[in-house]
């Protein structure tokens, strides 16, 4: 985890936040639910679509989310229902209502497809982009 969809969302959201002039008010990060890719950089397919769309990105290492992150963040976003189950387990529930499925922000209760399996980074980018756009609108409201 934390090499395809979540870093794509991190860099897309950071770009939107920067363009909105809100870098000093909104902190964006991404982490894995699982341990299988810890320490690895963003996957080349994600980097390629970000480069194609003109979204800046930097070298990074996949890290795992922890229970302590629940108190540190206002929103914790999952890409699919498996993430949502993992997040609830890791966090020990969601008493403050912080855990959200990304596409719920656009009124589509469905998964963001994982391009690691589909190979379709463009469709994933479109979903991530519209989800991040709506999330940012919510944060600015």
Q: Where are the domains of the chain?
A: 5-140
Closest CA to 47 of 130, 121, 113: 121
Q: Taking the CB of residue 123, how many other CB atoms lie within 10 A of it?
A: 14
User: pTM of the predicted model, to two decimals?
Assistant: 0.96
Closest CA to 43 of 89, 90, 97, 2: 2
With cut-offs at 50, 70 and 90, classify the pLDDT of residue 74.
very high
Q: Which distant-in-sequence residues (6+ apart) come within 8 Å of 45 by Cβ? A: 4, 115, 119, 121
Average pLDDT of the residues in 58-65: 98
CATH of domain 5-140: 3.40.50.2300
Residue 95 confidence (pLDDT): 96
Encoded tokens for 94: 């969601």
Q: Residue 78 gets which letter from DSSP?
A: E
Average pLDDT of the residues in 65-80: 98
3-state secondary structure labels for all residues of 2-21: CCCHHHHHHHHHHHHHHHCC
Residue 69 confidence (pLDDT): 98
């Amino acid at each position: 985890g934390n090499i395809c969809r979540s870093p794509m969302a991190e860099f897309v959201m950071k770009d939107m936040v920067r363009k909105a002039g809100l870098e000093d008010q909104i902190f964006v990060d991404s982490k894995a639910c699982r341990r299988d890719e810890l320490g690895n950089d963003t996957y080349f397919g994600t980097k390629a679509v970000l480069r194609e769309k003109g979204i800046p990105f930097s070298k990074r290492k996949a890290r795992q989310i922890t229970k302590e992150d629940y108190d540190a963040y206002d929103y914790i976003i999952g890409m699919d229902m498996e993430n949502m189950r993992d997040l609830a387990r890791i966090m020990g529930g969601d008493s403050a209502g912080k855990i959200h499925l990304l596409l719920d922000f656009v009124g589509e209760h469905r998964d963001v497809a994982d391009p690691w399996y589909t190979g379709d980074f463009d469709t994933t980018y479109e979903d991530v982009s519209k989800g991040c756009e709506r999330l940012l609108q919510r944060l600015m409201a």
